[in-house]
């Protein structure tokens, strides 16, 4: 370790820099590392932006850019081997939920984005009503959200691309990974999905924390 701190480094590269990079220990390490440059790598750098006010210090390379480079490589680099050729096709779908769920609490003013943390917020253990603890604060809206993304189109020719709105989509999305803000939120969502007409037809496995308190989920986690 002494050699690390005695050496003046040209560049220090921090991978997954959003993970634990601002703890007291991490700050102490950075403070004592002498270097000319620092490169912080992250796929979700939201807690790092405040350290870089100059946009020139931030370089973005995302999935969309990667796919674009793949399909435009021959046009822009004729004759050279395409390093992105082996990448699978990536489809990204976005949905405007702000029009479906009108609540000022769901709008993140700073990022002008839908606030999923508030949308999926649960009652904590300080809630006086014991029956509400661990339940969604906006349970009706979460239930409506599940209905929305699984609602069958009333028209013969489908007008919607919601992921579970047709039998075809459901058959192709039999294995999906859902990310929510926390362990308690995952447990609350799992409970609702198991009660839902559509999602109860799937095997719901909660892998957040210790999962759900049922034998089937524990057995699935062990597998």
Distance from C-alpha of 7 to C-alpha of 9, rounded to nearest angstrom: 6
Q: Per residue in 8-41, pLDDT tens? A: 999 999 999 988 888 899 999 999 999 999 999 9
Q: Per residue in 101-126, pLDDT tens? A: 777 777 665 555 677 888 899 999 99
Q: What is the band of 147 on the pLDDT scale with cuts at 50, 70, 90? A: very high
Separation in Å, CA 93 to CA 18, 20, 114, 124, 143: 25, 31, 15, 33, 21
Spans of all domains in the chain: 2-57, 104-222
- What is the biggest distance separating any 2 CA atoms in the chain, rounded to whole angstroms? 71
Neighbouring-strand partners of residue 109: none
Region 174-180: mean pLDDT is 93
Q: Tell me the pLDDT of the chain averaged across its residues.
A: 87
Q: What is the band of 5 on the pLDDT scale with cuts at 50, 70, 90? A: very high
Per-residue tokens: 117 = 């943390």
pLDDT, residue 108, reads 60
């Amino acid at each position: 370790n002494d050699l690390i701190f005695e050496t003046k480094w040209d560049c220090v590269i921090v991978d997954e820099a959003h993970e634990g990079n601002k703890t007291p220990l991490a700050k102490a390490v950075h403070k004592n590392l002498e270097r000319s440059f620092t490169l912080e790598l992250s796929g979700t750098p939201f807690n790092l932006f405040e350290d870089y006010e100059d946009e020139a210090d931030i370089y973005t390379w995302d999935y969309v850019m990667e796919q674009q480079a793949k399909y435009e490589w021959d046009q822009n680099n004729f004759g050279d081997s395409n390093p992105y050729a082996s990448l699978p096709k990536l489809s990204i779908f976005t949905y405007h939920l702000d029009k479906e769920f009108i609540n000022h609490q769901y709008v993140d003013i700073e990022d002008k984005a839908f606030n999923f943390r508030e949308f999926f917020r649960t009652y904590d253990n300080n809630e006086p009503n014991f029956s509400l603890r661990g339940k969604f604060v906006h349970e009706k809206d979460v239930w409506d959200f599940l209905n929305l993304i699984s609602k069958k189109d009333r028209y013969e020719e489908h007008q919607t691309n919601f992921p579970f709105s047709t039998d075809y989509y459901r058959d192709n999305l039999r294995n999906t990974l859902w990310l929510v803000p926390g362990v308690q939120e995952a447990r609350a969502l799992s409970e609702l999905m198991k009660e839902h007409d559509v999602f109860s037809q799937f095997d719901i496995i909660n892998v957040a924390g210790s999962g759900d308190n049922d034998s089937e989920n524990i057995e699935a986690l062990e597998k």
